[in-house]
Amino acid sequence: MFRVVTLAFVMVATLSAAQSRRLEPAEVRCPSVLGVGVETDLVFCDVLIQREPDQGIVVTLPPHRGEPTLSFNLHNRHTYSVEEERGGRGFARYMASIAVVTMSGAVLTQGVVLSEFRSVSDLIDRVSGGAGPEGVKAVAPTGLERVFVTIPPGEDQAVIVGRSLDIARTDSRDTVNSLNRPVAVISDVQVEYRPR
C-alpha cells in the first residue's frame, strides 16, 4: 500500500511540475527585420555578424524560475532569381554559423544550418514587401534547423549573433565574416519556462 501511495504522489508532483511550465512566443528585438512570410505569416529576422551582444537580436525572457529553454528556427538566406534558376545557375550551398550569448558575451550555444538551393521549392517561404510582380522580396529563407538552448539561472536576456557564412555556387566559393553582414535568418522564437 505504501508503494502505491508513493508512486501516485510522484506522478502528481511530476504532472504538476510539467503543467506549470509555459511555452509562448518570446519578446524579440530584431535590428534587421527581413519581413513577414506570405504563406507562414512568420516574422523573419536577419542575423547579422556582431561582436557586441547589445547589437544582436535580443530576446527578453519573461519572469521565470529555474532554467528556461529558448528555441527558434534557423534558416539560410537566399537571393532568388527566376532567370538564374531557368539558366541552370541557381544552385547554392550555404552553411551559416550563429551563436547564442548572454549580455556579458558568454557563449551559451552555437548553431549551424546547412542547406542547398536548387529551385523555388527549396524556399521555406517568400517574404512580403518586395518590388517584384507578386510583391515579394528577392531574399527568402531556405533550409531549416531548430535550435534549442537552456538559459542559465539569473539571465533575463539572450542574444543571437551571426558568426560566419560559407557559400558555394557552381562557379565560386565565398566566406562572409565581416561585421554587420547578414548571414542567416531566424523565425518562430519561443520560450518554455516556469513562471515566477
Helix (H) / strand (E) element for 5: namely: helix 2-19
* CATH number, residue 187: 2.60.120
- pTM for this one? 0.88
Q: What is the pLDDT of residue 19?
A: 57
Domain span including residue 80: 2-195
CB burial string 77-93: b at 16+ within 10 A, e below? bbebeeeeeeeeebbbb
Residue-level pLDDT, tens digit, the chain, 196 residues: 444 444 344 444 444 455 589 999 999 999 999 999 999 999 999 999 999 999 999 999 999 999 999 999 999 999 998 888 888 888 999 999 999 999 999 999 999 999 999 999 999 999 999 887 788 999 999 999 999 999 999 999 999 999 999 999 988 999 999 999 999 999 999 999 999 8
pLDDT attached to residue 82: 86
Q: Say what the pLDDT of residue 12 is.
A: 41
Q: What is the pLDDT of residue 130?
A: 85
Q: Report the domain count for the chain.
A: 1
